[in-house]
């Protein structure tokens, strides 16, 4: 009897901060970013097959490639001896939107392929930690953090990860329907040697504590992204104007922006108001996944032991 299908969630990656701290000779930029993951995302169905394939569905399925240009089809090549997998991707995140959709999908494909052999969280985590780091980075700077899909501080070109404790955080995601190429945003960056975040991150007690701390941090890609896509300014203004919004900022290289709220009900009310005023925008209320200190420390130790 063939193994049952595996369903894997691909959560949206949110850059709560994104400090660009340098540029290497090969053109790669150094980052210092606080990353968290939302309960909003794509969904991947995986069934073992003789030949790997990809079927697309969902509201944004027609907007991404179904061949090897899709990172899902490239991702399982990182697994030695992996058998073919037939994937069905329900694409619910807008592409090229600064929330790691392609990397999240690729990471979900790898987790799903590993679960085909041993559907045990600890075994999957151990195999993720043992993956070739250079090969993983070859598929994109966001892939290492998306593989874990847990709150983390991401540094270097994406290879330095430290999981962090994190509170429950309601938020609203909004995208104006504009794709912003990451390369163009980095090319428009006028200064690449900006200050990093503080060496020691605080222990945020709740969403209000986090929002107050974020007010002193930055997304260095927001100014160049605004020059490429002026619609970002309108999104940020709409978010900041909502009742209960604690902070509004762009995620990643844009154009998706977020605002933090005191509770999910406030985020949902704000989402309804923005959807009514801008029916063409993508609007998604949700929550960022929390993490406790013990889990973060345990996984950090596991990751370091395989380096």
Residue 261 has pLDDT above 70, yes or no: yes
DSSP 149-193: TS-EEEEETTTEEEE--B--EEEEEEE-S----HHHHHHT-S---
* Domain match, 98 and 176 both: no
Please compute the mean of the pLDDT values over residues 78-103 and round it to a whole number: 89
Residue among 13, 32, 91, 220 flagged as catalytic: 13
Q: What is the CATH number of the domain that holds 277?
A: 3.30.70.890
| Domain assignment present for 34 | yes
Taking the model in full, what pTM does it have? 0.96
pLDDT tens profile 18-57: 999 999 999 899 999 999 999 999 999 999 888 889 999 9
Residue 305 has pLDDT above 90, yes or no: no
| Domain assignment present for 293 | no
| Domain assignment present for 296 | no
* Domain match, 157 and 173 both: no
Domain boundary among 115, 139, 165: 165
| 101, 42 Cβ separation under 8 angstroms | yes
| Domain assignment present for 304 | no
* Domain match, 133 and 244 both: no
Angle made by CA atoms 217, 253, 32, in degrees to the nearest 5: 40
| Gap between the Cα atoms of 240 and 172, Å rounded | 11
What six digits make up the tokens of 241? 């104007």
Question: pLDDT category, 72, cuts 50, 70, 90?
Answer: very high
The pair phi, psi for residue 291, each rounded to 5°, is -150, 140
* Domain match, 123 and 158 both: yes
CA nearest neighbour of 241 among 211, 273, 279, 215? 273
* Domain match, 136 and 208 both: no
* 142 flagged as catalytic: yes
Find the DSSP H helices in the chain.
71-75, 101-117, 121-129, 133-138, 143-148, 182-187, 207-214, 222-228, 231-240, 264-277, 293-305
* Domain match, 184 and 157 both: no
What six digits make up the tokens of 179? 């794709």
Neighbours of 62 (CB within 10 A): 10
Residue among 134, 142, 162, 263 flagged as catalytic: 142
| Gap between the Cα atoms of 75 and 82, Å rounded | 11
* pLDDT at residue 102 in the model: 94
Domain boundary among 110, 137, 165: 165
* Domain match, 120 and 222 both: no
DSSP 33-46: EEEEEEEEEEEEEE
| Gap between the Cα atoms of 278 and 225, Å rounded | 21
* pLDDT at residue 50 in the model: 85
* 191 flagged as catalytic: no
* pLDDT at residue 214 in the model: 98
* Domain match, 153 and 228 both: no
| Gap between the Cα atoms of 261 and 171, Å rounded | 6
pLDDT tens profile 110-153: 999 888 877 788 888 988 988 988 999 999 999 999 999 999 99
Domain boundary among 107, 133, 165: 165
* Domain match, 253 and 155 both: no
Residue 155 has pLDDT above 80, yes or no: yes
* Domain match, 136 and 194 both: no
* Domain match, 116 and 244 both: no
Q: What is the CATH number of the domain that holds 67?
A: 3.30.230.10
* Domain match, 138 and 190 both: no
**Which residues form the domain of 11?**
6-165
| Gap between the Cα atoms of 183 and 36, Å rounded | 22
Residue 209 has pLDDT above 70, yes or no: yes
């Amino acid at each position: 009897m063939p193994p049952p299908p595996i369903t894997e969630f691909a959560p949206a990656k949110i850059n709560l901060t994104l400090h660009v701290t340098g540029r290497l000779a090969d053109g790669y930029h150094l980052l210092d970013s606080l990353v968290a993951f939302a309960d909003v995302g794509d969904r991947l169905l995986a069934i073992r097959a003789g030949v790997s394939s990809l079927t697309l569905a969902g509201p944004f399925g027609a907007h991404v490639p179904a061949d090897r240009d899709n990172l899902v089809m490239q991702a399982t090549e990182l697994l030695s001896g992996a058998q073919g997998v037939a994937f069905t991707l329900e694409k619910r995140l807008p592409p090229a939107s600064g929330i790691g959709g392609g990397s999240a999908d690729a990471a979900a494909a790898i987790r799903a392929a590993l679960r085909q052999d041993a559907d045990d969280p600890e075994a999957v985590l151990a195999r993720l930690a043992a993956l070739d780091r250079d090969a993983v980075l070859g598929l994109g700077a966001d892939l290492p953090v998306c593989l874990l899909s847990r709150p983390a501080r991401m540094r270097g070109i994406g290879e330095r990860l430290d999981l962090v404790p994190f509170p429950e955080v309601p938020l609203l995601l909004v995208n104006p329907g504009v794709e912003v190429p990451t390369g163009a945003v980095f090319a428009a960056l006028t200064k690449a040697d900006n200050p990093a975040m503080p060496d020691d991150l605080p222990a945020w007690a709740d969403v209000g504590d986090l929002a107050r701390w974020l007010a002193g941090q930055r997304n260095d890609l927001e100014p160049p992204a605004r020059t490429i896509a002026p619609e970002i300014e309108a999104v940020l203004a709409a978010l900041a104007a909502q009742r209960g919004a604690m902070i509004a900022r762009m995620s990643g290289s844009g154009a998706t922006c977020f605002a933090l709220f005191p509770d999910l009900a406030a985020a949902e009310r704000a989402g309804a108001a923005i959807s009514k005023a801008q029916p063409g925008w993508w609007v998604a209320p949700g929550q960022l996944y929390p993490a406790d200190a013990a889990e973060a420390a345990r996984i950090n130790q596991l990751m370091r032991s395989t380096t």
